Amino acid sequence: MNYDHGAMAIHSGFNYRGILRENTLPNGKQPMKSPARSSYYLIISALLFLFFFAWSSTYALYASWLEKVMGIDASTRGFIFMANGIAALMLQPVYGMLQDRLGTSKKLLTWVGLMLVLCTPAMAYVFPPLMSAFPIAGMAFGALYMSLAMFAGVGVVESYSERMARSKGFEFGGARLWGSIGWGAGSVVAGYFTINQNLPFYACSFAGIAFLVMLALLKNNTAPKEEKKYAVQATSSLGQSFALFAQGNFWKFTLFLFGVSGLYFLFDQQFQNYYSAMYNEQTLTASGQQAYSWLLAAQTLTEAVCLLVAPWVINRIGSRNGLILCSALMSLRVFGCSQISNVWFLSVCHLIRGIEIPVLLVAVFKYINSVFDSRYSSTIYLISFQFAQQFYSICFSAATGYAFGAYGYPSTYFVLAISAMVFTAWGIFMLPRARQDQDSGITPEKKAASSSNSATGAQTA
């Protein structure tokens, strides 16, 4: 298999802006600086901000909205999340293969944007009455819509942004931080659903319109001549993507992320209800939902700051070690929540998520590009990361929802923490090792050039 070494040939370091990076070609020379580079960064950052704002405004307090507005109990909410997982599970591989086939075409992103615009009619005016009259049909409708727009759409937006970052010469982490800021802003809006129950959906539709406007401004012109070899190419057929399923390393990577990203996704599904209840109980107020929305904003601010330094950290410790570090942080966070219910301690544990997510996101993409053919990055990301999350949700959401109601949050979190520790230990011994030379920005071309220079020097001597 011919790997796209250009994906990892760009050695990353902070320049004076801390976001755009300098690209180094294999011959050691600096490529021509394109004046369009900063415009690509700004538009991609805006797209990430708007998408995550739309998603967060709808989903950040979705469990609380289901409880407070719809009057749905914890067990039924578990089945709703399971239905979401099933729908996303079916769509994510399709989205991934289509995006790899399209390369840097904007067609699939346009579809995602249109789905965001339809949030208000779908979730404010169709889902509630349908859920009340025909619960199974309501679950199916809500799951299908949210998967088309968000659960599967997020993989398309992130993998497309990472492709553009590689081909246009800026760090994905530097652009992705605006997604975190968007999530924080959306979570604040979501916290006011108690004032207007449809406000989150209005915000999502408005952000979807802005998303489509920014997408229209993105002109994906041909890369400059000296950077062409680093541009991301589309796959020649969908059949090529299926060849990934025959690779053992692919399944090891997927199993690890199944236990890591899937578990933290499950843990966070109903944490907002636990936190709000503890806040109201310990402060003798009824403002737990608003407090949690502000905690989310603080967490996403932490996440945005950490996304600036996460590429630097991962380039030094390696993407594999970054994945294991993230898994260890998650294990400690979940275990802490199972042992101590003090609201301030719970707040600190949730803020650790702001460190965990940037490390995970950057490490996942760098690991994919250093172990697999980067032409299939969308497929691998959507299946190994997003698909694994949803599959975990399908397997355990209903059981976890029942456990929350029957045994309480601390006992359920303790079981989740033990599971996280098991997957962390498995990853240490079984996760395939990335090509460390590429993790540090050293490519075979650079090594060849270095060897050639050394040989020439020796002959001259």
pLDDT over threshold 90, residue 211:
yes
* pLDDT at residue number 90: 85
**Alpha carbons 171 and 307: distance in angstroms, whole number:** 10
* pLDDT at residue number 125: 93
pLDDT over threshold 90, residue 279:
no
Rg (CA), the chain: 22
Higher pLDDT, 456 or 82: 82
- Between 165-174, 348-357, 400-409, 446-455, the lowest mean confidence (pLDDT) is in 446-455
pLDDT over threshold 90, residue 454:
no
Give the pLDDT mean for 183-201.
Answer: 83
Strand partners, 20: 170
* pLDDT at residue number 207: 96
* pLDDT at residue number 294: 83
pLDDT over threshold 50, residue 449:
no
Torsion sign, CA atoms 435, 438, 439, 442: positive
Give the pLDDT mean for 354-365.
Answer: 87
Band of pLDDT at residue 122, cut at 50, 70 and 90: very high
Percent of the chain with pLDDT over 90: 21
Higher pLDDT, 214 or 457: 214
* pLDDT at residue number 12: 34
* pLDDT at residue number 434: 66
Higher pLDDT, 442 or 350: 350
Band of pLDDT at residue 392, cut at 50, 70 and 90: confident
* Candidate ranges 71-75, 176-180, 204-208, 406-410; pick with highest mean pLDDT: 204-208
Q: Are 282 and 343 in contact (CB under 8 A)?
A: yes
* pLDDT at residue number 435: 61
Give the pLDDT mean for 269-298.
Answer: 81
**Alpha carbons 191 and 37: distance in angstroms, whole number:** 36
Which pair of tokens denotes residue 337?
């929540």
pLDDT over threshold 50, residue 60:
yes
Give the pLDDT mean for 78-94.
Answer: 84
Percent of the chain with pLDDT over 70: 80
pLDDT over threshold 70, residue 443:
no
Q: Which residues contact 246 (CB under 8 A, 6 or more apart)?
A: none
- Between 137-141, 221-225, 241-245, the lowest mean confidence (pLDDT) is in 221-225
pLDDT over threshold 90, residue 258:
no
Domains and CATH numbers, the chain: 35-219+248-442 (1.20.1250.20)
